[in-house]
Amino acid sequence: MASGLDNPFLQQAYVTNRNRIAIIQNARSFLADRVVPAMREHLEIIAALESGDSDAVVDRIEHHLKLTLRWWGV
């Protein structure tokens, strides 16, 4: 998604956060029960983006981040 934004700042922020997330994920045990819900959340974000509903996009991203932080114990 980030590569399609045509915004170098956001693309770099995505790369930085992707790398941080990879480090955290490698430090934690794999939780299979989180994979399917997380992928579903990603699909909901994409659907909101495709619909052009910016409020729904923000809502879906906030929901995903909330659940992800809870999963990480933050």
Check residue 2 and give its pLDDT: 67
- Are residue 37 and residue 68 in the same domain, yes or no? yes
Total domains in the fold of the chain: 2
Check residue 53 and give its pLDDT: 95
**Mean pLDDT for each 10-residue chunk of the chain (74 residues)?**
75 86 73 85 94 95 91 78
Q: How far is CA 73 from CA 18, 24, 59, 67, 68, in A?
A: 18, 11, 21, 10, 9
DSSP class of residue 41?
H
Tell me which residue range forms the domain holding 36.
31-74
Check residue 25 and give its pLDDT: 72
3-state secondary structure of 30: coil
34, exposed or middle or buried, with CB in 10 Å at 0-12, 13-18, 19+? middle
Check residue 39 and give its pLDDT: 93
Check residue 26 and give its pLDDT: 74
- Are residue 7 and residue 18 in the same domain, yes or no? yes
